Each structure stands twice: as C-alpha cells, then as structure tokens.
C-alpha cells in the first residue's frame, strides 16, 4: 500500500511490508503456509468431537449458516464468531465468512428498537440460537466491524446483510452514538448505552449502565481505530483517531512497569478494576490478548515507540518464568496463580504462547523474540475440551507472526 500521508506512520500500513518472524528465523514459506493451513483445517473442518470449533448449521434465505462454539461451555459467543470472520476474510475463505456472518445476524443481532441492546449482538447463545444473555460484549462488535470492512475491500459489497460496508458503518455508528435504552429487567430496570466512552474516548467492558464504567485492556484495538478514522463514518473519524492515541497511552498506564502484565479489567486511568469478579485485577485469560493488540498496532503503524518497550518487558518476564513452562494467570507483579479452577485451558496454554510470540513484532531484543517465535512454532494445534479460545488465539497468532494478518484497503 502506497504511503499517502504523514499521518499513516511508518509501519506496514504505509509500506505494505509485513514482518514474517517465522521466515526471519529460517522457516520456508511453504512450511509456514502448511502450518497455517493445517491449523485452519483442523479448527474449522476437523473431527467434530475432538478438533473442530466451527460447525455447519443448515441454511436460510440468506444462504449457508455456520457457528463457532466454545466447545467446553456449549455456547456460541460474539468473540468466537467475530474472530472466525476475521480469520476467514484474512485467509480468503469467503463461503465460511458469509456463513458465520449469516449466523450472527440471524440469531445474535438484536433488532427490536425497544430492547436495551438494540443494534448490538447478544454475546452468548446456545448452539440453536437461543440467547443465553441479552447483553453485548464490545470486543465482538469491534472484530465484526473490522472484518466486514476488510470483506468489503477484498470482495466488494452485495445486497442485504452482505453489503459489508453498510453493515460495518451501521455497527460503528451504534458503538459510538447508540442512545441509552431502558427496559424492565430480571433485577430491575436495565439500561444500555453506547460501547465507547466519550471522554476519554475508550471502549467499555460492557455498554450496560451500572455503577462506575470501566474498560478491558484487551478490548483496546488502536490498529483498528486508525483504519476506522479513515474508512468509518465521516462524522466519527476524528473520534477514532483520538481513541487510537488514547489506547496507546492507556497501554503504558495499565501495564505493570516491571512485568508488562495488564489486568483483565481496568479503570480509565489504567489502575486494575478489581471488584468485578475474583481475579479481575490480575493478568488472566482476557489479558493474554493485550500484548498482541499493542504489538500489531506497532507493526501496522509505528506510531508509539513505547509499545516496543512493553513488548520487551512482557517477553522478558515470561522468559524468566520458563519459555515452555509459564502458566495462564499471574498477579500484575508476577506471582504465578496457576490455572483458574473449572476452566479447560492447559497449564501452559497455546493461546498465551501465541500472543507472547506476536509481541515479537514490536520487541527490540531479536534473540529473545526468536525464542518465543520458535516456541509458538513447536506448539501443537489445540484440540480437546479447551480448543476454542486457545485455538482461535493460536491461529490468529500464527497469522500475525507470519505477516499473513494484513490490512485489506479499498481498491
């Protein structure tokens, strides 16, 4: 992609050149492609009992339907569907992309103007489409919007739900401007507003209005916000540009200055938000993604050199824990808390091995980054009960590390 403006930074968006850490470490392009293809094939089309997380679900007037399921919890989440859409648009799997989007719009989209979550998606459903919750989780909407814009740019728009650009714009507008809607709820009146806090411009953990609003560091996606400041609704482009700057500064505030670990949930000033759930102020399963988010932002834009320091810090910490031994949950100052009881992740999870390898896109210590790249290379494709979250992060991490997770711009 040609550089068109000083505002485009010096990363892959401006240069069109994406780093391939696997190739830098000596792996052939054929080997790398085979590894990505094998992971995609297993997770999307593998054995239904032990490997697959994606399942065909018949068809309707809009065509085939497919869902991505958290196998261990027997539900379908906006997180998984939106990740599935991002993976399939990046890999050029249009049939699967459309089928997943069709399932999301058919079963998860809330079209009742009186419903508090109107214009958003129910974050969790049963595999038959019945809602487990009427609430929305903004990480799903964020990935839906970005994947739709990439699909529009890569494949062009059609009609109805496959007018990808129109669907993305509608969703981005709702994320910023959706009016508050209140309706009776199980525990009293239930109010939902927009997904973005106006000032500071920052994504919320949930758009539900209760108590003091707070955020989830792993929901911050400045690499995407930069694109929305160019391709999104014109009236909000300055807002998204400011949101990108805000998130970059927030990453520095919310991570521990020694370990580079971020909490699962945080207040707008970056301090841990520790009263939502047990361990919510610790580095847990959500927080695995945070380093990947800032590292991809550096890779695409080269606008925040502090992200390089953060990547070095978190890789240094996990190297000190044993490159093949570290666990899934830590206090922010680095105490190993072990796996959370009742969850199905491995003691040394593939998803975290993936996101820690992605940190190598920004880290300056190439020798240490190579250790994490090779650790991901040697990690087997997740299977069994815990294959959903680990598998999605594992596959997207392979794509990031190999330079195959790219910006698809307008033709």
**Contact (CB, 8 A) for 361 and 372:** no
The DSSP annotation for 156-167 comes to ---SGGG-HHHH
3-state DSSP assignment of residue 395? helix
| CA–CA distance, 323 with 359 (Å, rounded to integer) | 14
User: 77 burial class (0-12, 13-18, 19+ CB within 10 angstroms)?
Assistant: buried
343 near 268, Cβ under 8 Å? Answer: no
| Short-list 89, 90, 105, 87, CA closest to 170 | 105
- Alpha carbons 201 and 348: distance in angstroms, whole number: 35
Question: Considering 75, 119, 286, 297, which one is annotated as catalytic?
Answer: 286
Given 79, 90, 141, 167, the catalytic residue: 79
Q: Is 269 a catalytic residue?
A: no
Angle formed by the axes of helices 94-103 and 138-155, nearest 10°: 140
Please give the distance of CA 66 from its chain centroid, rounded to a whole number.
19
Give the Cα separation of 79 and 140 in Å (integer). Answer: 5
Q: Say whether 336 is catalytic.
A: no
Strand partners, 125: 76, 131
Catalytic residue ranges: 79, 286
């Amino acid at each position: 992609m040609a550089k068109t403006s000083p505002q485009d930074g010096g990363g892959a968006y401006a240069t069109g050149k994406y780093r391939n850490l696997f190739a830098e470490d000596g792996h052939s392009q054929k080997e790398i492609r085979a590894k990505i293809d094998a992971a995609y094939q297993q997770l999307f089309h593998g054995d239904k009992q032990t490997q697959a997380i994606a399942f065909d679900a018949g068809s309707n007037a809009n065509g085939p339907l497919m869902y991505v399921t958290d196998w261990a919890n027997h539900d379908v989440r906006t997180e998984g569907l939106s990740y599935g859409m991002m993976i399939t648009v990046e890999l050029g799997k249009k049939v699967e992309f459309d089928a997943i989007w069709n399932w999301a719009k058919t079963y998860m989209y809330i079209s009742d103007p009186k419903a508090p979550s109107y214009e958003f998606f129910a974050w969790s459903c049963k595999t038959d489409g019945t809602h487990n919750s009427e609430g929305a989780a903004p990480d799903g909407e964020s990935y839906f919007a970005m994947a739709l814009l990439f699909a529009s740019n890569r494949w062009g728009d059609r009609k109805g739900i496959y007018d990808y650009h129109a669907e993305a714009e509608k969703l981005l507008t709702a994320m910023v401007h959706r009016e508050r809607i209140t309706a009776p709820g199980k525990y009293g009146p239930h109010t939902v507003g927009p997904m973005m806090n106006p000032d500071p411009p920052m994504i919320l953990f949930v758009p539900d209005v209760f108590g003091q609003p707070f955020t989830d560091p792993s929901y911050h996606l400045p690499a995407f916000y930069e694109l929305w400041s160019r391709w999104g609704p014109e009236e909000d482009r300055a807002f998204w540009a400011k949101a990108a700057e805000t998130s970059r500064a927030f990453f520095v505030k919310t991570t521990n200055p020694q370990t580079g670990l971020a909490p699962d949930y945080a207040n707008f000033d970056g301090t841990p938000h520790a009263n939502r759930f047990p361990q919510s102020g610790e580095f847990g399963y959500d927080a695995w993604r945070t380093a990947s988010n800032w590292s991809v932002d550096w890779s695409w834009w080269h606008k925040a050199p502090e992200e390089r320091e953060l990547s070095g810090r978190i890789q240094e910490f996990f190297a000190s824990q044993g490159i093949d031994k570290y666990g899934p949950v830590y206090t922010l100052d680095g105490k190993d808390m072990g796996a959370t009881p009742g969850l199905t992740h491995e003691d040394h999870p593939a998803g975290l091995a993936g996101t820690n390898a992605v940190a190598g896109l920004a880290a300056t210590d190439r020798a240490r980054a190579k250790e994490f790249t090779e650790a991901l290379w040697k990690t087997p494709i997740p299977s069994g009960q815990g294959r959903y979250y680990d598998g999605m992060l594992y596959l997207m991490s392979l794509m990031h590390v190999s330079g195959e997770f790219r910006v698809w711009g307008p033709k």
